[in-house]
C-alpha cells in the first residue's frame, strides 16, 4: 500500500474540503438550485484544492441521488466511477503538456459527442495559463457556445496570464491559502488515521513550510512518516532543512565575539561538507528572525527545539535589535545574491565580514531613520528622521550596501 497520503485523503464530499468555504458554499448552492454554469475558472496557489473541487463538481453534476442537496452521494454508480478514476465523462487535461491549437481543436471535435456515462461531460483544464495564444482563441470559441452537456473547469495558479476574453466567460472562484491551524487539524486527523506518532510542533512546522498548500503539507507528512519513526520537531527540521545547526550558532557567536577567523572557518567547514552557501545564509536569517521575535516578546512564534531556544535567548540579550536587523539584512542579501557563481562562498564570507565589522555605529541611524523610531542617532552624523534622505542611508552602511527593510 503505497498510495500517496494526499490522494488517499483527497476530499470525497463537500464537507471535507478545507479552507475554501466560500467556494464550496457557492457551488453547492448552484447544485441544489440546479443552476450549474458552463464555464468556471478556479484560481489560486498550488495545492489549495482546485482540481479536488473540480472533481467534486464533476461528481455532483453527474450524481444520480434524487435530492440535489445530497450530491455527490459517493454511492451511486457515477460517483463510484469518479472515485475510482474510471468515469469517462470527466476529462482532465494538463495544459502544461497539451498547450497547442491542435490539442484544443481535438477537444472541440470531441466535445460535441454526448456524454457516455453521465449527464454532463466535465472538462478540467489544469494550468490553463500555459495554453498558447492560438489555443486560447480556439478555446474561446468553445466557451462562447458550449454544447448544453459540457462544463468547463479551468484551473490556474496565474490568473493574470488568462486573457480577459476568457475571464469574462467564466464564473470565477478564488482559492485561498489554507490557514496554518486548519492544515494542522487536517494533519492530526491523518496522523490518527494512519497510526503515526507526531508532535504538534512538528505538524505546525510542516503547515508553515507548505505556505497554505494542503497538498504540499500532506506530501511533507508523507515524506516524514516514511522514516518510520516518531515525527518530532527535530526530525521535521532536519528533513525540511530548517534545523538551526551548530554551524549557525557558531557563526552568530563569532559575530558576537568579533572572531572573523573562527566564523570563516565554520563557514568553510560547512561548505566543505556539502552545505549550500545560500541556504546556509537563509538559515542564519531565519535564526536572526527568531532573535528579533524574542526581543519583541514573541518567543511563542519561534519554532526551535528547547536547547536552541535557550541559546537564542542568550543571543537575543547580547545583541540589540538594530544589530539583529542589520545582520538580517546583510545575510538576507547573501541568501538572495544570485551572482558569485565563480566563487559561491564569496557572498556569505562577505556577509560575515560585514556583520563583524563596525557593528554598532551606523546601523542605528539607518534603522531608526527607516522605521521612524524615536531612538537618538549619534550626534556626529546629522540625520533627520525622514524618508527623504537616501544618501545618508546608503552612506551609513559598510561596503556601500544600502540597508533595505523591504525584505523583512
Ligand atoms: Zn452519486
Q: How far apart are CA 229 and CA 236, in angstroms?
A: 11
Per-residue pLDDT at 50: 96
| Cα 39 to middle of ligand 1, angstroms | 22
| Cα 74 to middle of ligand 1, angstroms | 5
The answer to whether residues 275 and 377 belong to one domain is: yes
The answer to whether residues 256 and 383 belong to one domain is: yes
| Whether residue 383 has pLDDT greater than 70 | no
Per-residue pLDDT at 388: 41
Per-residue pLDDT at 133: 87
Is 301 within the bounds of a domain? Answer: yes
Per-residue pLDDT at 97: 87
Is 408 within the bounds of a domain? Answer: no
- Domain end call among 174, 189, 220: 174
The answer to whether residues 235 and 250 belong to one domain is: no
- Give the pLDDT confidence of 250-280 residue by residue, as tens digits: 999 999 999 999 999 999 988 887 777 888 8
For 388, the 3-state DSSP assignment is coil
| Whether residue 290 has pLDDT greater than 60 | yes
Which residues surround the ion ligand 1 when the cut-off is CB under 5 Å? 63, 65, 72-73, 76, 79
- Give the pLDDT confidence of 214-263 residue by residue, as tens digits: 999 999 999 899 888 899 988 888 777 666 678 899 999 999 999 999 99
Is 289 within the bounds of a domain? Answer: yes
- Give the pLDDT confidence of 10-48 residue by residue, as tens digits: 999 999 999 999 999 999 999 999 899 999 999 999 999
Q: How many domains does the chain have?
A: 3
| Whether residue 387 has pLDDT greater than 50 | no
The answer to whether residues 139 and 204 belong to one domain is: no
- Give the pLDDT confidence of 35-81 residue by residue, as tens digits: 999 999 999 999 999 999 999 999 999 999 999 999 999 999 999 99
Is 407 within the bounds of a domain? Answer: no
In terms of DSSP H, where are the helices of 127-199?
A: 133-144, 164-167, 180-193
| Whether residue 119 has pLDDT greater than 80 | yes
| Whether residue 381 has pLDDT greater than 90 | no
For residue 219, give Cα distances in angstroms to 43, 165, 187, 194, 304.
Answer: 21, 36, 10, 14, 22
Q: Is 309 within 8 Å of 302 (Cβ atoms)?
A: yes
Q: Rounded to the nearest 10 degrees, how much is the dihedral formed by the CA atoms of 270, 276, 282, 285? A: 20
CA geometry: angle at 352 spanning 346 and 358, to 5°?
A: 130
The answer to whether residues 307 and 384 belong to one domain is: yes
| Whether residue 404 has pLDDT greater than 50 | no
The answer to whether residues 235 and 297 belong to one domain is: no
Is 130 within the bounds of a domain? Answer: yes
The answer to whether residues 214 and 306 belong to one domain is: no
Q: How far apart are CA 178 and CA 22, in angstroms?
A: 12
| Cα 217 to middle of ligand 1, angstroms | 29
- Domain end call among 151, 174, 197: 174
| Cα 63 to middle of ligand 1, angstroms | 4
User: Which of the residue ranges 163-167, 185-189, 391-395 would you say has the lowest mean pLDDT?
Assistant: 391-395
Return the CATH number at 229: 1.10.8.60
Dihedrals phi, psi of 153, to nearest 5 degrees: -120, 110
Return the CATH number at 169: 3.40.50.300
Confidence band of 386 (pLDDT split at 50, 70, 90):
very low
Instruction: Tell me which of 174 and 399 has the higher pLDDT.
Output: 174
The answer to whether residues 157 and 205 belong to one domain is: no
The answer to whether residues 292 and 250 belong to one domain is: yes
| Cα 32 to middle of ligand 1, angstroms | 14
Is 52 within the bounds of a domain? Answer: yes
Per-residue pLDDT at 341: 63
In terms of DSSP H, where are the helices of 296-345?
A: 306-318, 321-336
Instruction: Tell me which of 70 and 341 has the higher pLDDT.
Output: 70
The answer to whether residues 18 and 141 belong to one domain is: yes
The answer to whether residues 387 and 278 belong to one domain is: yes
Name the residue range of residue 206's domain.
180-240
The answer to whether residues 90 and 46 belong to one domain is: yes
Is 304 within the bounds of a domain? Answer: yes
- Domain end call among 225, 240, 255: 240
Amino acid at each position: 500500500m503505497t498510495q500517496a497520503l494526499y490522494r488517499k485523503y483527497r476530499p470525497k464530499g463537500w464537507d471535507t474540503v478545507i479552507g475554501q468555504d466560500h467556494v464550496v458554499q457557492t457551488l453547492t448552492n448552484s447544485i441544489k438550485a440546479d443552476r450549474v454554469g458552463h464555464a468556471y475558472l478556479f484560481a489560486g496557489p498550488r495545492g489549495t484544492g482546485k482540481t479536488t473541487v473540480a472533481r467534486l463538481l464533476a461528481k455532483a453534476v453527474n450524481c444520480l441521488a434524487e435530492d440535489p442537496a445530497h450530491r455527490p452521494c459517493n454511492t451511486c454508480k457515477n460517483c463510484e466511477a469518479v472515485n475510482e478514476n474510471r468515469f469517462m465523462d470527466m476529462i482532465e487535461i494538463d495544459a502544461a503538456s497539451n498547450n497547442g491549437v491542435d490539442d484544443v481543436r481535438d477537444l472541440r471535435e470531441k466535445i460535441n459527442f454526448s456524454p457516455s456515462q453521465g449527464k454532463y461531460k466535465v472538462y478540467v483544464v489544469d494550468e490553463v495559463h500555459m495554453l498558447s495564444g492560438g489555443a486560447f482563441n480556439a478555446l474561446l470559441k468553445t466557451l462562447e457556445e458550449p454544447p448544453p452537456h459540457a462544463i468547463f473547469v479551468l484551473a490556474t495558479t496565474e490568473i493574470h496570464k488568462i486573457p480577459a476574453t476568457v475571464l469574462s466567460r467564466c464564473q470565477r472562484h478564488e482559492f485561498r491559502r489554507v490557514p496554518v491551524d486548519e492544515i494542522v487539524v487536517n494533519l492530526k486527523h491523518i496522523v490518527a488515521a494512519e497510526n503515526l506518532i507526531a508532535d504538534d510542533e512538528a505538524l505546525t512546522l510542516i503547515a508553515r513550510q507548505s505556505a497554505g498548500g494542503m497538498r504540499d503539507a500532506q506530501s511533507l507528512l508523507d515524506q516524514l512518516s516514511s522514516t518510520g519513526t516518531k515525527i518530532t520537531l527535530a526530525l521535521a527540521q532536519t528533513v525540511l532543512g530548517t534545523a538551526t545547526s551548530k554551524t549557525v550558532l557558531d557563526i552568530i557567536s563569532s559575530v558576537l565575539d568579533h572572531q572573523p577567523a573562527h566564523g570563516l572557518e565554520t563557514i568553510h567547514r560547512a561548505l566543505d561538507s556539502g552545505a549550500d552557501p545560500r541556504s546556509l545564509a537563509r538559515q542564519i536569517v531565519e535564526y536572526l528572525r527568531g532573535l528579533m521575535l524574542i526581543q519583541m516578546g514573541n518567543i511563542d512564534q519561534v519554532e526551535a527545539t528547547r536547547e536552541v531556544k535557550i541559546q537564542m535567548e542568550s543571543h537575543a540579550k547580547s545583541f540589540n535589535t538594530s544589530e539583529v536587523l542589520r545582520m538580517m539584512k546583510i545575510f538576507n542579501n547573501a541568501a538572495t545574491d544570485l551572482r558569485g557563481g565563480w566563487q559561491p562562498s564569496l557572498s556569505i564570507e562577505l556577509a560575515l565580514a560585514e556583520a563583524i565589522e563596525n557593528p554598532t555605529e551606523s546601523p542605528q541611524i539607518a534603522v531608526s531613520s527607516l522605521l521612524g523610531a524615536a531612538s537618538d542617532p549619534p550626534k556626529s552624523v546629522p540625520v533627520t528622521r525622514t524618508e527623504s534622505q537616501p544618501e545618508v542611508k546608503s552612506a551609513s552602511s559598510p561596503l556601500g550596501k544600502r540597508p533595505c527593510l523591504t525584505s523583512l
